[in-house]
Amino acid sequence: MNEIKFLKVYVIYVLVGFIAGAIIGAIQGFILGAILGIADYPIENIPLITGITGFFFGVFISFFVFRWSIQKFIITQLDEAQKISVNQSA
């Protein structure tokens, strides 16, 4: 039964992380690419710079989505299970 809970958390984490990362990555890539283009930066280097910054944004987003999914789906269920076991033993 616990494996199903962990699988659910993992699937939610992957889907939300992927979608949020793609959206935020596209937005930051567009903004940074536009700024570098306006600043007349060489066009060959813009994909490299936006790719590197997109990677770091993705890591940042992935960390917070992971924390959110664990907090929402695992920690709350552990707290509920602990409250039930305390009530039954009393």
* Residue 15 domain flag: yes
* Residue 59 domain flag: yes
Domain hosting residue 37, numbered range: 9-82
The CA distance from 48 to 74, in Å, is 38
- Check pLDDT > 90 for residue 71: no
Domain count, the chain: 1
* Residue 2 domain flag: no
Q: What is the pLDDT of residues 77-89, one digit of tens each?
A: 777 777 777 777 6
- Check pLDDT > 90 for residue 72: no
State mean pLDDT over 1-23: 84
Q: What is the pLDDT of residues 14-67, one digit of tens each?
A: 898 889 888 998 999 999 999 999 999 999 999 999 999 998 988 888 899 888
* Residue 71 domain flag: yes
Helix 2-38 vs helix 46-69: angle between axes, to the nearest 10 degrees?
A: 150
DSSP annotation of 40 reads T
